[in-house]
Structure 1
């Protein structure tokens, strides 16, 4: 992905130097890893009770490294790209203005109206304040632990969280979450899967527009995003954690589903093609 030297977003809230703090000791070892993998991606805060170090309290570092700064610059450029793309898509396909989200960069821990955030909880979007939250150390996790390296894999992470904001702007997220609060856990999980797969599809729409508008994609970039989608499928995460695959617990979709919906968005470049709520064939 060609991103160096390009415009960054002004909608960045940098909390990295004011973050940190202590994380309480909790479940460690294999049990902790299972919980972490279950909540690792997109909005599940497991940090309060997962301690992969085996217990005790640790002080989160607020040292900002050269790698941190590079990651922050990358996120800023990617966010700026999403702003331009979704403004165009909303104008042409929806007929309304697009209000972009703020992206909160933090290191260690921080707070949001949706609860605590940490590197362990993974990136997430909070509709309570229209902000996406990201500890850029997650990119290291994505690469080294989940096997999804590359600039565009990281861009897919940002684009997915922004896609949740797009859902919020369209009124989809609020309606879906209201229904989730009124049904059983299994039914709620099924709705969550549809929310996440639509966000993957919207990410594909963004990728197609970014390719055509900025000429920023390079050979292999779409493959990086598809690999990232595969590595964070519910079935793959459960297998890699040594667990039996349990479809009724899925909240994000299988690897194949996540790849398929990203591809649908990329090939169609149309919001209308991302209607995961009216199909029986996810």
Structure 2
């Protein structure tokens, strides 16, 4: 991926080096404390490419997603612009998503409002509650921000076997896909639906949300390549490999447990690859309606 020298986004806040509002101690879930390792185990099925973090934490606490809190935690304040290569890469990819989605929205007579992206270390305060590195990258609709600890990319490469810069770009594009869902009204409708559903039904709904975000990542990749031509041989394979490594079935096998489809929240490896490729094929949002199709 020929990303060096491309435009960087002005919507990136580098919060690394600040406490992120985190402080000391363990990360708490549902009023109880869990070690960082405990969080990873609790969230293994939803560890990567997270949806609303409060939804994930509610599932980890053994129940349905909690209702929105009466008073939200203050979101992270703007930080400095990243100067290291990892931060610049994220900024360049985010800038390209801004350009692509601005054009896509304009084509349908709409205005795209880009998200901000916060780089953090270990933990961070968000409008959706406190986020932690163990959750993986996530999007918070409460403050329209993507959050990522860049140490996740080492996990993606070394522990999950998904190396490559385009695999990393896919991570960002997936989270921006959740922002697109928020702008299109999907997020609010889905959150309202989940509150009326059983845990099993809510999990199935979450799968459709996540597969749609994968498809939207494919839409971005299509238009990005059309405009920049910056993808190289093997880049798409890197993204597909990443999608394969983070399917619910694959993650559950890696954790040493049984594969339990009823607990899936993100989709199988095959489904995640298929929906990314579906968005990539024509670059059309219309091809990403995971809610109306019977077969995922």
Q: TM-score range by the shorter chain?
A: 0.7 to 0.9
Contact 2:46 2:248 in 1 (8 A): no
Unaligned 5+ residue runs, structure 2? Answer: 27-32, 61-81
Distance 1:81 1:19 in 2: 29
CA contact (8 A) 1:33 1:241 kept: no
Unaligned runs of 5+ in 1: 50-66
Q: Distance in 1 between matches of 2:92 and 2:111?
A: 21
Partner of 1:166: 180
Q: Give the Cα–Cα distance (whole angstroms) in 1 for the partners of residues 105 and 204 of structure 2.
A: 27
User: 2:214, 2:172 → 1: CA distance?
Assistant: 11
Q: Tell me the secondary structure at the aligned position of residue 204 of structure 1.
A: helix
Cα RMSD of the aligned pairs, angstroms, is 1.9
Give the corresponding residue for 1:89. 104
Distance of 1:200 and 1:277 partners within structure 2:
14
TM superposition shift of 1:257? 0.2
Residues 1:22 and 2:20 aligned together: no
Give the whole-Å Cα distance in 2 for the aligned partners of 1:68 and 1:242: 40
For the 8 Å contact 2:247–2:272, the answer to whether it is kept is yes
Counterpart in the other structure of 2:41: 34
SS at match of 1:258: helix
| Structure-1 residue corresponding to 2:73 | none
In structure 2, distance between residues paired with 1:86 and 1:228: 23
Aligned residues: 261
Q: Deviation at 1:91?
A: 1.1
2:9 — aligned with what? 9
* 2:46/2:266 contact within 8 Å kept: no
Taking the TM superposition and a 5 Å limit, the aligned residue runs for 1:115-154 are: 115-154=129-168
TM-score, normalization by structure 2: 0.84
Cross-structure match for 1:75: 90
TM-score (norm: length of structure 1): 0.88
Q: 1:23 Cα shift?
A: 3.9
